[in-house]
Structure 1
Amino acid sequence: NFATYNENDIDKGLEERMSIAQQVSSMVLGLRRQKSLKVRQPLSKIMIPILNPELKDQIEAGKEIILSEINVKEIEYITDEAGFLVKKIRPDFKVLGKKYGKLMKQISALINQFEQDDIRKLETEGKYILKLSDQEIEINLDEVDISSEDIPGWLVASNNKLTVALDIDVTEELREEGIAREFINRIQNLRKEMGLEVTDKINLGIQKHELINKALEKHKHYISAQTLTENLSLVNEIAGNSGIKFVEIDNNIKTHIQLNKV
């Protein structure tokens, strides 16, 4: 007998939390793509305006997944976004036009006059009552498009009730960690190319380059642990000719790596 499907068995709360975690992650990854910021480059934080305590709990529940997916150090919640985020609203003509026909022009004019508080009220309550000369019209959140303007040093994405701001400032410390992660990626690829077993230990020689030396010295133990390297040395010139590979970390960083099995 096949197991019968019971809708009550599905944890709706879990489903919703996972859905929000996915939304936040894909919004941030989209923002990264806008600025060509590779996922291996760590960033310091994202900021999320919280419209209700439930949203914060849902995000917190999926926080570890989100942070590891998007490679960001922390999530900061803001409860009062006034003065930080400037939102814009416009009516969804397709939806509202179908519903209200010739009243659409008046409705559109009223929506275009919305202040930040009006937008926040609509986002929080999910609906808003518009007063036309002789009647009241209720508009819903899914009948408008709300977007946020970018703030200097941040990128902002909005999606219905969710807004995410990504701090795109790459500090020297973050840049160095990003370089270390790029090297780990290249070394892992070289291990595969050489047909090494997952448990094989290696020795690594990396040719010095002014843009990487500090980062590699600083993250030497991390790189070694991630790549099963027993001995990692930064050298002026690679000696011998076995296991040498040319690697490109980005347009400005190209160097040679020598990788030999222990």
Structure 2
Amino acid sequence: WPSPDGKGTMRRIGDVLDCWFESGSMPYAQQHYPFENKEYFESHFPADFICEGLDQTRGWFYTLTVIAAGLWEKPAFTHCITNGIVLTAEGKKMSKSERNYTDPMEIVKLYGADSLRFALMNSAVVRAEDLKFSEDSVKEVLKTLIIPLWNAYSFFVTYANIDGYEPSETAFKDLTNPMDRWIISAMQRFVQEATAAFEAYDIQKACSLFVPFIDDLNNWYIRRSRRRFWKGENDTDKKQAYDTLYKVLLTFLKAVAPIIPFTTEDIYQNLRTGEMPQSVHLCMYPDYCDEERDLALENQMSLTQKAIAMGRALRASNNLKIRQPLKTLFLVDREEEERTILNSMQDIIAEELNVKEVHLSSDESELVDYSAKANFKVLGSRLGKDMKEVAALIADLDGKTIASMLDGKTHTITYSNGEISVSKDEIIVQRTELEGVKVLNDGSLTVGFDTKVTQELLEEGIARDIVRSIQNLRKESGFEVSDRIRLTWDGDEVIKQVFEHFGPTIAKETLSNSMSFATLDGEAIDCGDHLVRLFVEKD
């Protein structure tokens, strides 16, 4: 055949081995070993890792291994990542002839390349398992990772620009706010665990850490620290908050850049200063720093978050919206160490769960009545035909006895053929809520609310609804976070009482320089059982 460059003739080689043999010869053939590059090849063999599709193990993988074993008596690689098969959402193999898949570039255009990359990397397909692919999994990445990361970055940039913040660093030992120390410590834990997963070539495990950390950053650290960035004066606490958030964002970007390279590069370009590498992909991967861990604080925050999560779940299951203040939160924990932690975190818990007071104790009796049933699965093998009689005696146990068993004590039950010591693992405890109280239990911790809502609490809840509605109007109107406004409102007698009693709070929270009543048209906003109309304008 004439050569395309017109310089000669191309001739087919007569003897060609199987194409998989050629592919398996790749480590040597691409270096023309041993005729050239002998020293370079031998210093770089075997490869750090290969990636092999499960459906190709009989081809390239097989010959690669056989040839390396024949030549060197060892594999051609030290690690192997094997990917499974990507199937349709219905579990069918994707086929060009059937066109039963969406063009990947269409998905990229809709959700971004990073969302598609992360959806695949964070799935079992990187562990040699099949994946039923759905666009919903890519859309979920936008909601849980990409947009929350942009939100954290946007929050920082918005306030940093307002205050003219210049990047700097506060040493961990000098941080005075526990929220700063906690997020730095949590960040180091994230780096440690992600590094270990990546070094073990466990891509899905590494990816599984991303969303929980960015959720902690947004929904715990930033939300709890938001007021620190609002302060008018540029005090030490405010600077430490900026330094902390800046450091955490940059570290997170460097840690996740291999998986979501485009988003991280975009954000990095706006955060980098003159001395930093030109690209996030030219930065060194973050090194774990044990000196920036506070394990006791991490444990405190973990238990605090658990109590708050249980409280929110209890509110949701009983239609007690979080903006409605309640009088009392009951925290019951049988573990003394945990009670000490919860006691030190009372203010945070009260604020997060919107209660006026927190009542902490080790005794659930003021919240619930106990009753018990026999655990037939556990006791049946021990008691045999006597099971029925003992089950009836367990059902007659009083609350005090059950409470002592929950504290770890055993109780001896005497029956017609003898006696048996029963522990908490051999009974099933049932809790009946007392009137006006709602409770939820998880292990040693029980949370409960006094659900009675007084008129004052009702009005405060409506005030919080009004604040939220005004903030939404500010956002919809395109106002800057620092803009002062004039507020006009319209509502019934209860709404008037709310503005009378909580007007200063509403004004402070919404940056309202003035608030006035007037008859307004337009859509009314639901605030519990009452309607309010609002109008905002820049002052």
1:33 counterpart = 2:310: no
2:463 is aligned with 1:185: no
Q: Indicate whether 1:257 and 2:538 are aligned.
A: no
Contact 1:146/1:160 (8 A) holds in 2: no
Q: 2:495 touches 2:532 (CA, 8 Å); kept in 1?
A: no
Instruction: Give the superposition deviation at 1:179.
Output: 0.8
Q: Secondary structure at the match of 2:347?
A: helix
Distance 1:81 1:245, change over 3 A: closer
Task: Give 1:96-135 correspondences, 5 Å limit.
Answer: 96=378, 100=382, 102=384, 104-105=387-388, 107-125=390-408, 127-131=409-413, 133-134=417-418
* Equivalent position to 1:176, from 459, 478, 497: 459
Paired residue for 1:206? 489
TM-score by length of 1: 0.81
- SS state at 2:406 partner: helix
Aligned residue number for residue 223 of structure 1:
506
Question: Does 2:528 correspond to 1:246?
Answer: no
SS in 2 for 1:152: coil
Map 1:83-94; keep pairs closer than 5 Å: 85-94=368-377
Give the whole-Å Cα distance in 2 for the aligned partners of 1:89 and 1:15: 35
Report the CA distance between 1:14 and its aligned residue.
4.0
Residues 162 and 63 (structure 1), Cα distance of their counterparts in 2 relative to 1, 3 Å cut: same
Deviations along 1:8-28, one digit per CA (max 9) or x if unpaired, are x672x5454334323322332
CA distance in 2, matches of 1:220, 1:259: 15
**Is the CA contact (8 Å cut-off) linking 1:110 and 1:130 kept in structure 2?**
no
Aligned counterparts of 2:429 and 2:361: Cα–Cα separation in 1: 18
CA distance change for structure 1 residues 84 and 25 in 2, over 3 Å: closer, same or farther? closer
CA distance in 2, matches of 1:107, 1:138: 10
Instruction: Please state how far the C-alpha of 1:219 moved relative to its aligned partner.
Output: 0.9
Once residues 221 and 21 of structure 1 are traced to their aligned partners in structure 2, the CA distance between those partners, rounded to angstroms, is: 31
Following TM superposition, by how much is the alpha carbon of 1:89 offset from its aligned partner in structure 2, in angstroms?
2.3
Answer with 1 or 2: which has the greater Rg.
2
Higher relative contact order (CA 8 A, sep 6+): 1
Q: 1:20 is matched by which residue type in structure 2?
A: L
Paired letter, 1:160: G
The counterpart of 1:69, out of the listed 332, 338, 352, is 352
5+ residue gaps, structure 2, are 1-284
Question: Equivalent residue for 1:54?
Answer: 337
CA, structure 1 residues 115+203, in 2 after alignment: closer, same or farther (shift >3 Å)? same
Matched residue count: 250
- 1:77, distance to aligned residue in structure 2 (A): 2.8
CA distance in structure 2 between the partners assigned to 1:110 and 1:16 by the alignment? 40
The one-letter amino acid of 2:535's match is Q
TM-score normalised by the chain length of structure 2: 0.42
Given the superposition, is the C-alpha separation of residues 90 and 163 from structure 1 closer, same or farther in structure 2, using an over 3 Å criterion?
farther
Which letter does structure 2 place at the counterpart of 1:212? I
- The residue identity in structure 2 corresponding to 1:246 is A
Q: State the match for 2:77 in structure 1.
A: none
Q: Report the alpha carbon displacement of residue 174 of structure 1 after superposing the two structures with TM.
A: 0.7
The alignment partner of 1:156 has SS state of: strand
Determine whether 1:22 maps to 2:311. Answer: no
Any stretches of 5+ residues in structure 1 without a counterpart? none
> Aligned letter for 1:213?
K
How far did residue 161 of structure 1 move? Answer: 2.2
Work out the CA distance in 2 between the residues paired with 1:197 and 1:80: 49
Contact 1:45 1:73 in 2 (8 A): yes
- Structure 1, residues 165-198: CA drift from partner, whole Å, max 9, x if none? 3111111111111111000000001111111100
SS in 2 for 1:41: coil
**Contact 2:367–2:448 (CA<8 Å) still a contact in 1?**
no
CA contact (8 A) 1:42 1:174 kept: yes
Contact 1:90 1:145 in 2 (8 A): yes
**Structure 1 CA distance for aligned equivalents of residues 330 and 374 of structure 2:** 26
Percent identity for Structure 1 against Structure 2? 29
C-alpha distance in 1 between matches for 2:490 and 2:447: 40
What is the aligned-residue RMSD (CA, Å)?
A: 3.0
More displaced, 21-30 or 82-91? Answer: 82-91
Q: 1:194 to 1:99 in 2, by over 3 A?
A: farther
Contact 1:43 1:167 in 2 (8 A): yes
